[in-house]
Amino acid sequence: MATLQDYRDERLRKLAQLKELGVNPYPAKANRTHFTNDVVEKFDELEGQTVTITGRVTGLRKFGKLAFIVVRDKTGQVQLFLHAPDVVGLDAPNSVVGMEQLPLLDTGDFIEATGEVIKTKTGEISVGVRTLRLLTKSLRPMPTELTDKEQRLRRRYVDMNVNTDVKQRFIRRSKFWQATRRFLEDEHFVEVNNTVLESTAGGADANPFVTHMDALDQDFYLRISHELPLKRLLVAGFEKVFDLGPRFRNENYTEEHLPEHNAMEWYWAYADWEMGMELTERMIRYVCDQTWGTRQFTLANGQNVDFGPDGEHFSRISFVDVLKEQYGIDVFDSPMDEIQAKLKENNLEVEEVDNRIRSLDKLWKKHRKTLAGPVFLVDIPVFMQPLAKVNAKDPRLTEQFNLVFGGSEMCKAFSELNDPVDQLDRFKEQQAMRDQGDDEAQMLDIDYVEALEYGMPPACGLGYSERVFWSLEGITAREGVPFPQLRREVDETTKSIYSDIKLGE
């Protein structure tokens, strides 16, 4: 049975033969006039006309003086029909190959074909080729199927060729972020891309990555959130601002989280959380319309989510009420031993550094899994959110809402805290938690406190990550990005092929 190395050796032989003929197997320029779907979908308009198409060879059959080649580009595929008397012969300087050189071509090669749009005797829409150019000689055969999950993630460029639905997923991912950006721009938000390296990591509960900048001889953190720089821009005079780009959280992989992922946050001066909820409802519906053309989804966990018609508000649930109703816990007064007993009773882990915030959050997350949504979670205690404004109706609570659907919190937003004295006190509480071993508690950012002392207008802010996209696609986090980080690995075949190179693990 032929091995990958055998196939590669054979293609290297063909490559050498092409070069001996004077053919450049990797020319710099192609001359496309039409896509493959133009030929198929506009046949009546193009029949009899000359077109030039380009793409990857996915099928190749030769029968004496006849040959059929299937070529695929980003729009689809079309058949090429080659008949010996009609095809231009070898023109090596221009990378043109004739019928005699067809045995030197393989599936996976990229070619350019010029000819007349026709139908074959069997009724197949085709391009009757006159000139065939080689654009790229492939050295490895593209498999006809790829099902091993690990290999699909490691060689996504192969996965997308074999499983074309994966490629379409990432086209939708692009549409998802385009729609997010377009919605905010139509609402007169200004996009400002802030730095990824920060001297203090803030804006979220997460363990940051650390790197060193030689120029300043100082350690920096890769941002865990877009929040604090954007709120500094509110101090600077921006009134509607957003940032869209990567953030980094040095945590374990889960079905819903990646250490590196894209996210968006917006901040809106002179708006409160009620205005933010209304904007969020409109935004999520717009993004769904533009990305999938529907507002109704069946998720991977079997839950059905319907974002409903315009103007209809999502229902709300209270964090305080949920914990009381589900577990008999008073989030303000129940002692820690009672809370930890409930953790054990519900088969939830009790860790040595668990504090009140982490323990209550674990109980909430267990119940959250049952919620299909969409719903807004409200009534979140002040001690659990160091960056939100106190609720005017109950000073124990914040003016915060989290959009929940599919059993997860997908968006977090609140009326922003702009009292520098209150903010400093809350930062001190968070820093004390860090000092006691909570690596995810927020750092004290004194520069941000100073910024608030210059005055930040009342505002609402919201952030969501591409976890929204992953959930509505019904896929895991690693399936939701083109090239997820994996532990470095060099397989034995690769080591054998490049045996003259030292390939470290």
Q: Looking at residue 15, which CATH number applies to its domain? A: 2.40.50.140
Which residues form the domain of 27? Answer: 4-136
Instruction: Please state the pTM of the whole predicted model.
Output: 0.90
Kindly state whether residues 237 and 102 are assigned to the same domain.
no
In this structure, what CATH number is given to the domain that contains residue 436? 3.30.930.10
Give CA–CA dist 469/348, Å, rounded.
28
pLDDT tens per residue across span 34-89: 999 999 999 999 999 999 999 999 999 999 899 999 999 999 999 999 998 889 99
Please give the pLDDT value at position 353.
Answer: 60
- Residue 23: what pLDDT? 96
- Residue 478: count other Cβ atoms within 10 Å of its Cβ: 18
Residues 185 and 260 in one domain: yes
Within a domain: 403: yes
At residue 61, the pLDDT reads 94
| Residue 156 in domain | no
Note whether residue 495 is domain-resident. Answer: no
The phi, psi pair for 213, rounded to 5°, reads -100, 115
**Is 255 contained in some domain?**
yes
Residue 354: its pLDDT value, please?
Answer: 66
Residue 500 lies in a domain: no
72 and 197 in a single domain? The answer is no
- 78/39 same-domain check: yes
Per-residue pLDDT at 389: 86
pLDDT digits (tens, 9 = 90+) for 449-477: 999 999 999 999 999 999 999 999 999 99
Same domain, 396 and 332: yes
Same domain, 349 and 238: yes
- For residue 349, the model assigns a pLDDT of 79
pLDDT for 123 equals 92
Whether 105 and 172 map to the same domain: the answer is no
Identify whether residues 101 and 28 lie together within a single domain: yes
Segments of the chain with pLDDT less than 50: none
Q: Do residues 375 and 318 lie in contact, with contact meaning Cβ atoms separated by under 8 Å?
A: no
Residue 23 domain-assigned? yes
Does residue 85 sit in the same domain as residue 172? Answer: no
Examine residue 241 and state whether it is found in any structural domain, yes or no. yes
CA 121 to chain centre: 46
Backbone φ and ψ for 100, nearest 5 degrees, come out as -65, -25
Count of domains forming the chain: 2
* Omega within 30 of 0 (cis) for the link into 374: yes
Query: 106 and 174 share a domain?
Result: no
In this structure, are 117 and 223 located in the same domain? no
3-state secondary structure of 82: strand
Query: In whole angstroms, how far apart are CA 505 and each of 135, 150, 487, 491, 502?
Result: 34, 17, 9, 10, 10
DSSP string, 326-357: HH---TTTS-HHHHHHHHHHTT----TT--HH
- 112 and 178 in a single domain? The answer is no
Largest CA distance in the chain: 90
The Cβ-side half-sphere exposure at 203, using a 13 Å CA radius, reads: 31
The per-residue pLDDT for 236 is: 97
Q: Quote the CA–CA distance of 221 and 211 in Å, as a whole number.
A: 6
User: Per the domain annotation, does 375 fall within a domain?
Assistant: yes
